[in-house]
Amino acid sequence: MDAQGNTEAEDRRDLEACRTGDAGALERLYRRHAPRVYGLALRTLRRRDLAEDVVQETFLNLTKSAAGFRGEARVGTWLSAIALNGSRMRLRDLRRGALPLEQADDVAAPETRQPSGALEGALAKLPDETREILLLAATGVSYEEIGAALSLSADQVRGRLYRARKELLAQMWAEGGEDA
Amino acid sequence: MPSGEFRAVSREESRCEALAESLSAYVDGALAQTLKQEVETHVRACTTCAAELARIEKLCAELRGLVHVQPPSLVWDKVRDAAGSLSASEMRGNSRVAAAIAHVFLFLFDRDLARRCRVEGTCREKVGSEHGVIALIAGLLLGLIPQGLTSATPVLPLAAGVLLLWLVSTRLEGRLSHKGLITTLLAGAVVPGAWELAHAATAMALPAAIAALAAAQAVLLPRLKPQVLVRLRVPCVVRSCAVVLLAGALARPDLVGPVAAVPPLAGAAGGALAAWALSRRRRAA
């Protein structure tokens, strides 16, 4: 579960360097965390252009807020929470029709296509909260950190995650694509 | 079905139900050691739960693949450019504070210069030399504050450079004003400006303008007649307020609301207060 644990010290050092305007430190943080930030946004929004905006916004927030980072969560978790917030806002705008629709479902572009298309389809049909907890758990963070990002206790995360996985499996089964 | 066998099956099913949630947490490595062992023991004996565990493990592996996607390289270019602009914008914001401080400082000196020329008839060359020093200090402020005094700021080289120019300026100013102009320009614009230019060209404009103003004052004001200097008092108040407010407006266009107005307003208020205090002093004298 602690796959990024060994990079946390590097993250903290680079975040400290970002406060002094070190562009190299920002790039290192970007290389380590952008794939997860982009993945979270992409699976939430299913739009490449909007997911790219979320990545840009997340790392700009990092440069602006580096001095305010209190170190209670890991840097990666902090970035994931920023990315999820940004994705939520854009999703809300999409549903209100405040964003253009012509590029909807751009997620199926070749470089982002995954072998598990049924999983993507089923994930998209889940309620937002259910999808968010599944995606956050997939980033490899602890229940406590997921709880911190979603304002839940670790026990609540455990229960909700169990139900979310059941729901996702049921959804995949219903679509006939579940071969797990 | 014999009742004993029924009870055994029922107990086994309820065990499966009790551990269902734990299977999910087991995959995440989030179980305490005793519960983890209990799950492992149960899964070895129960084919249904073993299959369920395999399904969850496969699902989680696929989800992990879904949330790690390399963004197009263009995205990093955008992040880098935007972060650079943000940094320049913050520097301009700091420059605005520096401009406010430096301008109030120069404003105070204007008042003092006018008073001394009129009341004491101080030697113009000496006043010019003092003004050069003020411009140098303003240049130092402008050079340091835009960097936010971070560890990345080359404080010592910058301070040493300005000190050297200050020494040269004080020696030359009394004799040749155009050399004083050159040194104050060097100190006020080139030294801090070169450092700023290395980071963001846009951040240089405001400090350079203020330094140029200081340098122009250093040369022009001592040449004016005392009566003219005294008459300049009110226009100087207006000019100081206008420059400081304009600096605030130009320096940080992305900051809006009351926060953005604090440094320039504080500078303008300080300037006005200083003008009032000095005019009272002059009247008393």
Domain A1-113 has CATH 1.10.760.10: no
Say how far apart CA A69 and CA A96 lie, in whole Å: 33
- Do residues B43 and B166 both lie within one domain? no
Residue B154, domain member (yes or no)? yes
> Which one is predicted more confidently, A97 or A30?
A30
> What pLDDT score was predicted for residue B2?
46
Contact call for A1 and B25, based on CB within 8 A: no
For the segment A117-133, the average pLDDT, to the nearest whole number, is 87
pLDDT greater than 90 at residue A4: no
Domain-by-domain residue ranges, chain A?
Answer: 1-113, 114-180
User: What is residue A53's predicted lDDT score, i.e. its pLDDT?
Assistant: 92
For residues A108-131, average pLDDT: 71
- What pLDDT is recorded for position A30? 93
> Do B275 and B179 fall into the same domain?
yes
- C-alpha triplet B145, B148, B151: angle, nearest 5°: 120
Q: What residues in B contact A140, CB-CB < 8 Å?
A: 64
Residues of chain B with C-beta less than 8 angstroms from the C-beta of A66: none
Within-domain flag for B197: yes
Contact residues, chain B, for A180 at CB < 8 Å: 54-55, 58-59
Nearest-CA distance B61 → chain A (Å)? 8
| Domain tally, chain B | 2
**pLDDT confidence of residue A134:** 93
Task: Identify whether residues B50 and B121 lie together within a single domain.
Answer: no
pLDDT in tens, chain B (285 residues): 444 444 554 566 677 888 888 899 999 988 888 999 999 999 898 898 999 999 999 999 999 988 889 999 899 988 888 887 766 556 555 554 555 455 555 545 554 555 555 555 544 445 544 554 554 455 455 444 444 433 334 444 444 444 554 455 444 444 434 544 454 445 444 444 444 444 444 444 555 555 566 556 555 655 666 556 555 544 454 554 455 445 444 444 333 334 444 544 454 455 555 555 555 555 565
* Beta-carbon pairs below 8 A across chains A and B: 127
State residue A36's pLDDT score: 92
Range of the domain at B13: 3-66
Q: Based on the fold, state whether residues B167 and B209 are members of the same structural domain.
A: yes
- Residue A142 confidence (pLDDT): 87
Does B217 lie in the same domain as B170? yes
Measured between alpha carbons, how far is A87 from A38 in angstroms, rounded to an integer?
10
- The pLDDT value recorded for residue B84 is 75
Task: Say yes or no: B42 and B133 in one domain.
Answer: no
Provide the pLDDT for residue B269. Answer: 54
Q: How many CA atoms lie within 13 A of B235 on its CB side?
A: 6
Provide mean pLDDT across the span A73-91. 89
Task: Give the per-residue pLDDT at B67.
Answer: 87
pTM of the model: 0.57
B82 part of a folded domain:
no
Both B60 and B116 in one domain: the answer is no
Contact criterion met (CB < 8 Å) for B69 and A22: no
User: Are B209 and B254 contained in the same domain?
Assistant: yes
pLDDT of residue B71: 92
In a domain, B84, yes or no: no
Q: What ipTM did this prediction achieve?
A: 0.81
- In chain B, the residue whose alpha carbon lies closest to the alpha carbon of A21 is B87
Does residue B36 share a domain with residue B149?
Answer: no
Categorize the per-residue pLDDT at A12 as very low, low, confident or very high, splitting at 50, 70 and 90: confident
Inspect the interface and report whether the beta carbons of A30 and B68 lie closer than 8 Å.
no
Say if B71 falls within a structural domain: no
Of B66, B81, B101, the position where a domain reaches its end is B66
Alpha-helix runs per DSSP H in chain A: 8-19, 23-45, 48-65, 75-96, 117-125, 128-138, 143-150, 154-174
The pLDDT value given to residue B223:
61
- Burial string for A36-58 (b: 16+ CB within 10 Å, else e) reads bbbbbbbbbbbbbebbbbbbbbb
Residue B106 and residue B245 in one domain: yes
CATH code for the domain defined by A114-180: 1.10.10.10
Confidence (pLDDT) at A104: 47
Indicate yes or no: CB of A161 within 8 angstroms of CB of B63.
no
Regarding whether B97 and B52 lie in a shared domain, the answer is: no
One domain for residues B99 and B60: no
pLDDT value at residue A166: 92
pLDDT of residue A55: 95
Interface list for A 121-150 with B (CB within 8 A)? 123, 134-135, 137-140, 142-143
> Which residue pairs, CB below 8 angstroms and at least 24 apart, start in B76-83?
B76/A27, B76/A30, B76/A34, B78/A52, B78/A56, B79/A26, B79/A30, B79/A55, B79/A56, B79/A59, B79/A60, B80/A23, B80/A26, B80/A27, B82/A56, B82/A60, B83/A23, B83/A26, B83/A59, B83/A60, B83/A63
Residue with the larger pLDDT of the pair A64 and B284: A64
Residue of higher predicted confidence among A16 and B154? A16
